[in-house]
Amino acid sequence: MNLSKFVCALALFGPTALNAAPPAEQARASGGGISASRLKPYSNAWMFSFVKDGVRKDQGIWSDVLRFREVDGKNLLERVQGMTYSNGLSSVTINRFDPATLEPVYSEQHTPDGKVVKRSFAGKHVELHLTKAAGAPEEVTVTDLKSDVFDFNGGMYGMLIAARPLRAGYSGTIPAVGEFDNNPVSIPFHVVRRETVEAGFKGRMDAWVVDVGGENPMTFWISDGPPYILRLELPMSGGTAMYDIIT
């Protein structure tokens, strides 16, 4: 899932405390409670729909696959997401990251409007290759950041939250960079409650409801095990974009 869908999707997702709320934690590549060991390979799909003025319309299917893969001699986790819209347009996002720490190694996005974003990470060193439209020249930006970051805006959204020890009241901040630039940003999140939701062919599953703040607020429903992201909702174009797991 990438934030460019906020632009392209339609053209074409009081707290109940179970435990005492811990202080907000800073998620860092070197620790902060985040661990890829909580993640297991999976494959699943969501129905993307848009709700406005009480009317819900299906817009397309979002697929998501997580697998171990060897790339350039490195054993990595690779997440591949694809979106097929009802009007025939499509998008794809690829994320490769360390299977222990979730530190990003590489990401690539192809959006429905022809934009291509390729980004490589080597600790604090980030190299961005951006093509703003089909046929446009590629723009390269190389940045040495002051601290390590995660690839939240490059497609790792809910996965970075699912890899944390979630519990009611739990809060944190994820260091990241912008979706189309290397400017550092902080993404706050807060676990609101736990509830049981419909999960397509998987039946009913327990999930943590997690609010994500920042420039593009969203709410995730995240299970403790695969496929992790059961539902995503976010405001868009005067309505609500919804992604509900179907398989």
Q: What is the pLDDT of residue 16?
A: 26
202: pLDDT strictly greater than 90: no
Averaged pLDDT, 152-158: 94
What is the rounded distance in angstroms from the CA atom of residue 164 to the CA atom of residue 147?
Answer: 20
Residue 7 predicted with pLDDT over 80: no
Residue 247: is its pLDDT beyond 90?
no
pLDDT digits (tens, 9 = 90+) for 53-102: 999 999 999 999 999 999 999 999 999 999 999 889 999 999 999 999 99
Dihedral angle at the C-alpha atoms of 15, 17, 18, 23, nearest 10 degrees?
110
CA distances (Å), origin 98, targets 71, 83, 162? 11, 24, 15
CA atoms within 13 A on the CB side of 243: 30
Query: Looking at the predicted structure, is the pLDDT value of residue 158 above 90?
Result: yes
- pLDDT for residue 6: 41
At residue 14's C-alpha, the angle toward residues 198 and 187, to 5°, is: 80
Q: Dump pLDDT digits (tens) for 38-47.
A: 899 999 999 9
Question: How many folded domains does the chain comprise?
Answer: 1
> Measured over all CA atoms, what is the biggest interatomic distance in the chain, rounded to whole angstroms?
54
**Strand duo 218-222 + 204-212: pairing:** antiparallel
User: Can you list the pairs that 191-194 forms with residues at least 24 positions away whose Cβ atoms lie under 8 Å?
Assistant: 191/166, 191/167, 192/15, 192/168, 193/15, 193/16, 193/168, 194/16, 194/18, 194/168
Q: Give residue 32's pLDDT.
A: 56
Task: Using pLDDT thresholds of 50, 70 and 90, give the confidence band for residue 2.
Answer: very low
1-10, 160-169, 180-189: least confident range: 1-10
The tens digit of pLDDT for each residue in 206-219 reads 999 999 998 889 99
Name the percent of the chain lying above pLDDT 90. 79
238 dihedral zone (left: phi>0; alpha: psi -120 to 50; beta): left
Structural domain boundaries, residue 67 = 5-245
